[in-house]
Structure 1
Amino acid sequence: MLLDRADRAIVTALQENARLTNVELSERIGLSPSACLRRVNTLERKGLIAGYHATIDMAKIDYDVMVMVQITLTGQASTILNDFERAVVRIPNLLACFLMAGTKDYILRVAARDVADYGQIHANHLSSLPHVQSMESNFILRSVMNRGLPVELL
């Protein structure tokens, strides 16, 4: 999908603050409110804007530990992948699951209140996932960057 200057400006502004009103957004990018709304609706309809989300400060709700878990499965057959995916999405503390190309098959992002809580998540959920050959837990010390796609790449 090719984006012109106005579309790129809309996407950039909404990546920074999805709570902008249409009037605020239109003023920021230099379009009339009706033209701005029409463009936003088009970007949503075409699927470029797939949703609007709130970013939660996990530490404020006492989830102080984030863990990236690297998983290697016993094989790559579709039944193995499907079994694993059906099971992993039921883990309540799982925030994200990525199928990878490379030395690991999946990377999971898991939220825990503390290290002991992660130990319980590991014992009660992760260790019983089907077809897991190996699992490596990497604790996130801090987030250095987490952003949307820069405007120059749109």
Structure 2
Amino acid sequence: MVAIVAVALLAAVGVVGRLRTFFDSDKPYVAAAMPADAIKPINTKRVTYQIVGPAEASGRISYLDVNGRTIEASFTELPWSVTVSTTDPGVLANVVAQGDTDALGCRILVDDKLVAENFANGRDAQAFCLDKAA
């Protein structure tokens, strides 16, 4: 009985060893000699923030860049705008502006399509626009 088990084990080891060399699975993986092509960004998305109001107005603006960081800027005349670009599938777009005027407005455009707009009236007007899925 022991001899039969030993012969069966030797036969199994021989068959498995032969199958491994037959399919080259015993050799380590070697990467291709040439590097892969560089990934080129597609579907670039342009997010444009606009502030509108009387031409002589001045004030401060706060908006989010494509990484979600707050950028602060000043304006001394209107209209004011800035465009940021990304290949990310979704961007949180937010802009807040306050000026020394009684009327102020903001807009967010994604690929030149209006997605958010708001106007404010009153002393030192403050306008706020938000798009959660730019």
Q: Same fold (TM over 0.5)?
A: no
Q: Indicate the structure whose relative CO is greater, using CA pairs within 8 Å and at least 6 residues apart.
A: 1
Which protein has the bigger helix share? 1
TM-score by length of 2: 0.31
Greater share of residues in strand: 2
Of structures 1 and 2, the larger Rg is shown by 2
